[in-house]
Amino acid sequence: MSLDSYITLGRSGLRVSPFCLGTMTFGEEWGWGTSVADSEAILGEYLDRGGNFVDTANIYTNGHSEKIIGDYFAARPGRRDRVVLSTKFFGNLHLGDPNGGGAGRKAIVGQCEASLRRLHADYIDLYWLHNWDRATPIDETLRAMDDLVTAGKVRYLGISDVPAWKVSQAQVVAHCRGWAPMIAMQVEYSLLARTVEGELTPMAQEFGLGVMPWGPLRGGKLSGKYTRENAGKLKSDRTGSSDGPTDAEFVVIDAVNEVAAEVGANTVAVALAWVHSQPGVASTLIGARRIEQLTSNLEALDVALTSEQIAKLDAVSKPALNFPADNNRTLAPSLAFAGATVDGQPTKAMPMLTASPARY
């Protein structure tokens, strides 16, 4: 696989790279990011290797991330149109202004115009609702987003970090009213954060949303830098905390290291390859503050995990899911199919059934 082995994102006609370059690190305003020169070098390396999918947000480094990307493409005419450029709205950049952020019509339109200015762009390929605004009716948000599509300022729509029931509501409302639907959903997903498998991922598959995992390395815990010996001693550049992986997380990390040794790859590549192999996953978000980190991430393109290796990682990282996820996965098929094999999956007959036909 390579960055130019493009895939179709969700139920749409948009084709993107299997790994999307996340740019939350572009800019140093938050104290742990990357300089303009290094940001441009990372972006250039990603594009030169065939990548075509770049993701940012209005709030990343207080808007500087968008400006770095915009300046980069403005200096390279003709390259912008070959890239799928996505950004998000919701975050408020105006202290004390209740309409500076969120998902009301005034906020959405204002944020879109500001992002377009910073990006030096006439349009945004994929525009994301970054979070759920509980104070705004979802139909107001959806209509405003649809208006941006109609106006040609936005091509496609996405949703991020929103409960499954709310995303479902949004998709149904958009469908019934003939508005532009969401085509993709961003969620936190990694070997150390798998609870999205309960409702979010199945919901996304049902509604034609491409799943885009963020945080696939769980804040660096799956980067290979943590060991049982240095746990609690290394400080995170982002948070300043020295909290390392827990004992339970090290069980997963140990398994990742074992698989990495088997395939001759780094732990980062194995962790990313596992995420990318999961049902519903479309393009996985990766981030880097240095070229070396980007290169390490992209090694995942060359890793093909066997079914046994995937099963091994699945087993050690199996999450506890909210009801009724496990009930639907285990008990329900046996209740429905009574020992028959359906779609390649065998089931068990319930103990109360006998070989004789039902009596009543």
Q: Say what the alpha-carbon torsion angle 290, 292, 295, 297 is, to the nearest 10 degrees.
A: -70
| Residue percentage of the chain with pLDDT more than 70 | 94
Among 152, 143, 136, smallest CA distance to 181 is for 143
Q: State residue 232's pLDDT score.
A: 66
Q: Which amino acid is at 226?
A: Y
For residue 157, give the 3-state DSSP assignment: strand
360, pLDDT greater than 80 = no
How many alpha carbons fall within 13 Å on the CB side of residue 352? 4
Inform me whether the pLDDT recorded for 184 exceeds 60.
yes
Residue whose structure tokens are 């769980």: 218
Which residues are CB-neighbours of 258 under 8 A, at least 6 positions away?
312
How far is Cα 332 from Cα 346, in angstroms, rounded to an integer? 12
Taking residues 114-133, what's their average pLDDT? 97
Render pLDDT for 190-234 as a digit per residue (tens, 0 to 9): 999 999 999 999 999 999 999 999 999 999 999 888 888 776 666
Given this model, what pLDDT does residue 337 score? Answer: 80
How far apart, in whole angstroms, are the C-alpha atoms of residue 57 and residue 118? Answer: 11
Q: For strand 53-55 and strand 210-214, is the pairing parallel, antiparallel, or unpaired?
A: unpaired
C-alpha distances in Å from residue 224, one per residue of 114, 255, 276, 349: 39, 12, 18, 44
Please pick, among 6, 60, 72, 189, the residue that the annotation labels catalytic: 60
Given a cut of 60, whether residue 355 has pLDDT beyond it is: no
pLDDT digits (tens, 9 = 90+) for 321-348: 888 888 887 778 887 887 888 888 888 8
User: CA 35, CA 44: separation in Å to the nearest integer?
Assistant: 14
Given a contact cutoff of 8 angstroms between Cβ atoms, the answer to whether 211 and 282 are in contact is yes
Whether 60 sits among the annotated catalytic residues: the reply is yes
Give pTM, 2 decimals: 0.91
On average, the pLDDT of the chain sits at: 92
CA trace torsion 46, 49, 50, 53 (10° rounding): -10
Q: Checking DSSP bridges between strand 15-16 and strand 7-8, what pairing results, if any?
A: antiparallel
pLDDT at 118 over 70: yes
Residue 358: pLDDT band (50, 70, 90) is low
Contact 116, 122 (CB under 8 A): yes
Which residues are bridge partners to 126 per DSSP? 86, 156
Q: In sequence order, which residues have a C-beta less than 8 Å from that of residue 303 and are 6 or more positions away?
A: 263, 265, 269, 270, 272, 273
Q: In this structure, are strands 84-89 and 124-129 parallel, antiparallel, or unpaired?
A: parallel
pLDDT tens-digit profile of 127-153? 999 999 999 999 999 999 999 999 999
Mean pLDDT of 62-68: 98
Residue-wise pLDDT tens digits, 235-257: 666 655 557 888 999 999 999 99
